[in-house]
Copies of this chain bind each other. A is one copy, B any other.
Amino acid sequence: MAIQRSEFTARYANFVVHDNTVYLSGVIPENFDGSITEQCEEVFIAIDSLLGKAGSDKSKILSMQCFISSFEDFDQFNQAYDNWVDVENLPARATMQATLFDPRVKIEIVLVAAI
């Protein structure tokens, strides 16, 4: 089956579609100086946008890996997540702490969704 790739950035595709499944690149906020809540909200808006362009949406998320820069932010991350996630269609999820691209970046999400 053909592979569909999103418009490229310099270095990677924002998403790649294959066999009814879309793979997103790691999504980070645009504004690195936002609070954890603001960064999460930005990331979730970006995910919704990317999934829409791929022909999917948040009700079809299969699996999310959430990397947060500190578990001290875990409650606020969860609150933003709870405000966003489709409670009728909860994804599989894992959350790990990791040092991210820029010391100010507090959240990066990698996910796979159905089309």
Contact = CB atoms under 8 A, between A and B. Distances in A.
Interface in A80-115: 81-82, 85, 87, 89-101, 108, 110, 112, 114
Contacts of A100: 96-97
Contact of A11 (B60, B89, B90): B90
A101 B20 CA distance: 32
A32 B87 CA distance: 28
Interface of A: 1, 3, 5, 8-9, 11-16, 18-21, 23-26, 60-65, 67, 71, 74, 78, 81-82, 85, 87, 89-101, 108, 110, 112, 114
A113 B25 CA distance: 14
